[in-house]
Structure 1
Amino acid sequence: MIRPRLLPPCCVLLIALTSAARAEDWIGFRGPDSAGVAEATGLPTTWSETENVVWKCDLPGPGTSSPTIIGNSIYLTCYTGYAESIEEPGDQTNLMRHVICVNRTTGKIAWQKEFEPRLPESRYSPPNDARHGYASSTITSDGERLYVFFGASGMYCLERDGKEIWHKDLGDGTHGWGSGTSPLLVDDMVIVNASIESNRMVALNKLTGDEIWSVPGIDRCWSSPVLVDAGDRQELVLNVPRVLTSYDPATGKELWHCEGMPDGYLVPTVTAHDGIVYVIGARQNTAAAVRTGGSGDVTETHVEWRVKKGSNVSSPTYLDGYVYFFNEKDGIAFCVDAENGDVQFQKRLEPRPGLIYSSPLAADGKIYAVSQENGTYVIAAKPEFEQLAVNHVGDPDGDPVRANASLVEADNLLYLRNDEALYCIGKVETAAADAARTR
């Protein structure tokens, strides 16, 4: 049986959330508005295996999906049976995927459900799938149902106790870099970029799984769609190779497109604020701000600024007039003025972090960035660079544990997921105050 490592009982009594409390939800990839921004206070700057850890829950297998939090439940995905070890990946026929529900009060697994994959999956071949694995899409929810995307194995709709409602095949395509986009709920639809599986973006009826519309011709694209408030309308924006495109979420029809993302594949997901979409793209290191509300080709009319800075994997975050992002390979933190694109800082994190596949979380005056093997970096959310901390969990004498999931927040507590465990991180005094308010 998988057991969480718990703090002493006296500490648990101080910090436990009551099961009857309604937690501040964090749903889907990057949380509210797909922005990676949390309205939180009292978050820790530093932590370790023995500092500011409320609980630790050992997971049955690795995964890249971020936690989704609804009330007192945390949902995430894992995989087992194949490619858990770089040295001995094993036989793909043993691959199994899991949806996990963790009790947010106790840190114990409440239930888990197994899903047999549709084979063949993308073949394990370092460094490709070795860098993010076979459970990369973050679960989303309407509060009643869970929507889980497993790439070539399809989209699943589950009740919150794990019971399957429907399953939809979205194509059997695979790629050496695997599948990694996350679903988005818009009104009565669940929308997913199935570029790898069938070269299209698809909208499904969230109750039945029936297809409502699809957009063809989306190739080599690992970014997730984002719903943007454009004032008099809602726009569905997707960062695709060589062009940023906006669609009518009700029909899938293109509203506008903007050229200038020069790479032949795209991973970072956009962020938006006040009708401006902030986009970064791939190995050509391009960042841009594009106004929504246009029609047709807006390349010459709606680009607010463009700079030769960017990231190949990690997505940007907007906070208080600035856009923050991290180059996934070089370990460089960027801050750009959101109004004019002026670079406020371009500084290397120390010690050099190696790969950063997660997307940053902005919260409590800080920007948190989880590196793949060298801990979570914390910088101040301001236009002057200040690195505040580097935090590590796990055995300090053991091998690094891979971490690709983005950090999330709920009720002034952080949730960090790596390939071995899920951690609830917070200051004891802050967690105790939260518990007192929910009694």
Structure 2
Amino acid sequence: MVLAYDRASGAEVWRSTVTEQVPHEAGHNTNTFASASPVSDGERLYVSFGSRGVYCLDLNGKTLWSRDLGKMQTRAQFGEGSSPAVSGDTLVVPFDHEGESFIVALDAKSGEERWRQTRDEQTTWSTPLITEFNGRTQVVTNGSNRVRSYDLATGELIWECGGQAGNPIPSPVRFEDNVIVMTGFRGYAIYSIPLSSKGDITDSETITWIEEDAAPYVPSPLLYQGQLYFVKANNGVLVSRDVKTGELRIDQTRLPDISTVYASPVAANGYVYLTGRDGTTVVLKHGNSFEVVAKNKLDEEIDASAAIVGDEIFFRGKQHLYCVAKE
């Protein structure tokens, strides 16, 4: 089911049931059957339910097209979670699992397949980054075996790099002409890779910088004003690095009253917001020192990343949607 709410009042605007199916896997107790984030190009809304299909809706909730990409067999039946990405008239859907993994590009208007590339990967929960460099648009995907970049127009493999730890979930981020990828499950890896790379650059001097002392497992990093903010594994331990050089800005520091984190950090107006799974949000002042300026708690579990729009911040809890606004 897909739902839309009025930003100002929270009133439900519409809801659409796109499919009803019996799950073929149990899933992890912290996952749901709708973990992937919807994405919009301003004209249409795209939602991936993984094994239950990819759907395109208009902004009034009417289904325009759907595609069935098959059934995922996720590792240890942990469930599905990778989100699609859209750029121009192309929708990219990752499909890494314990079966035959692939990445596919669909026509955003019709749902017709444009290209498909097989992937030597196990279950991955990362969302692709689509970014333009020197007139060519790249689709950068993280993976247990390789980080790979594909040409958005053709699916051609542009470059690849090994070295990530297992089960990568954090989404890649871009700074200037580099893309930063990371993972923090049973090992830590942060790689800054030039978008000008070609071919297999594993263990080459092409890589801008590498750090292996701490990286996130589930949350994606925050790139804000030249700094990377992230937690160590899923723990309430903050680290910050200079995005250009990898230099440490804030060493591993415990976040007050936060033990476990799934939600990615967000930032606005010089402040960084980090939300723990118990609903506690710690607000830090952006900079090279660890300075807490506020701490608030919602009485609900929160695993989804907060969204900031203007003076409002939205939290999706286990049972409720919250809007916190400036008075």
Using structure 1 for the length normalisation, give the TM-score: 0.70
Structure 1 unpaired stretches of 5+? 1-97, 395-400, 429-439
CA shift at 1:418, angstroms? Answer: 0.7
Aligned to 1:304, which of 201, 208, 211? 208
**Deviation digits for residues 140-171 of structure 1 (CA, Å, limit 9, x no counterpart):** 11222111111100101111111111110011
| 1:192–1:202 Cα contact (<8 Å) kept | yes
> What is the count of residue pairs matched by the alignment?
319
CA shift at 1:420, angstroms? Answer: 1.3
1:219 maps to which residue? Answer: 122
CA shift at 1:99, angstroms? Answer: 0.7
| Correspondence list, 1:280-319, <5 A | 280-283=182-185, 284-299=187-202, 300-308=204-212, 309-319=214-224
Matched, 1:152 2:54: no
| 1:145–1:158 Cα contact (<8 Å) kept | yes
**Greater RCO (CA < 8 Å, at least 6 residues apart):** 1
CA shift at 1:134, angstroms? Answer: 1.6
Matched, 1:336 2:244: no
RMSD: 1.6
Matched, 1:320 2:225: yes
Q: Which letter does structure 1 place at the counterpart of 2:240?
A: C
CA shift at 1:198, angstroms? Answer: 5.2
Cα distance change on mapping 1:180 and 1:291 into 2, 3 Å: same
**Deviation digits for residues 258-302 of structure 1 (CA, Å, limit 9, x no counterpart):** 121132x21111111111111111321111211111110123132
| Correspondence list, 1:115-264, <5 A | 115-124=18-27, 129-175=28-74, 176-196=77-97, 199-217=101-119, 218-263=121-166
Separation in 2 of the partners of 1:243 and 1:362?
A: 29
Matched, 1:364 2:269: yes
CA shift at 1:374, angstroms? Answer: 4.0
Structure 2 unpaired stretches of 5+? none
Aligned to 1:421, which of 320, 323, 327? 320
Separation in 2 of the partners of 1:338 and 1:413?
A: 27
CA shift at 1:321, angstroms? Answer: 1.9
1:99 maps to which residue? Answer: 2
1:373 maps to which residue? Answer: 278
Separation in 1 of the partners of 2:110 and 2:135?
A: 30
Separation in 2 of the partners of 1:354 and 1:121?
A: 32
Cα distance change on mapping 1:330 and 1:262 into 2, 3 Å: same
Cα distance change on mapping 1:380 and 1:132 into 2, 3 Å: farther
**Deviation digits for residues 409-434 of structure 1 (CA, Å, limit 9, x no counterpart):** 11221111111111111211xxxxxx
Separation in 1 of the partners of 2:109 and 2:244?
A: 41
Larger Rg: 1
Matched, 1:276 2:178: yes
Cα distance change on mapping 1:385 and 1:191 into 2, 3 Å: same
Cα distance change on mapping 1:242 and 1:388 into 2, 3 Å: farther
Q: Which letter does structure 2 place at the counterpart of 1:190?
A: L
Identical aligned pairs, as a percentage?
A: 29
Q: Secondary structure at the match of 2:162?
A: strand
| Correspondence list, 1:68-107, <5 A | 98-107=1-10
Cα distance change on mapping 1:159 and 1:232 into 2, 3 Å: closer
**Deviation digits for residues 378-428 of structure 1 (CA, Å, limit 9, x no counterpart):** 22211111122221123xxxxxx2211111111221111111111111211
1:63 maps to which residue? Answer: none
Q: Per residue, is there more helix in 1 or in 2?
A: 1
Separation in 2 of the partners of 1:355 and 1:174?
A: 27
| 2:18–2:63 Cα contact (<8 Å) kept | no
Q: Secondary structure at the match of 2:142?
A: strand
Q: Secondary structure at the match of 1:152?
A: helix
Using structure 2 for the length normalisation, give the TM-score: 0.92
2:255 maps to which residue? Answer: 349
CA shift at 1:210, angstroms? Answer: 1.0
Runs of 4+ in 1 over 6 A off after TM superposition: none
| 2:215–2:233 Cα contact (<8 Å) kept | no
Q: Which letter does structure 1 place at the counterpart of 2:94?
A: N
| Correspondence list, 1:376-395, <5 A | 376-394=281-299
| 1:276–1:292 Cα contact (<8 Å) kept | yes
Separation in 1 of the partners of 2:304 and 2:245?
A: 31
**Deviation digits for residues 292-345 of structure 1 (CA, Å, limit 9, x no counterpart):** 111101231321111112111111121222111112432110101122212122
**Deviation digits for residues 112-160 of structure 1 (CA, Å, limit 9, x no counterpart):** 1224443333214xxxx21122211111112221111111001011111
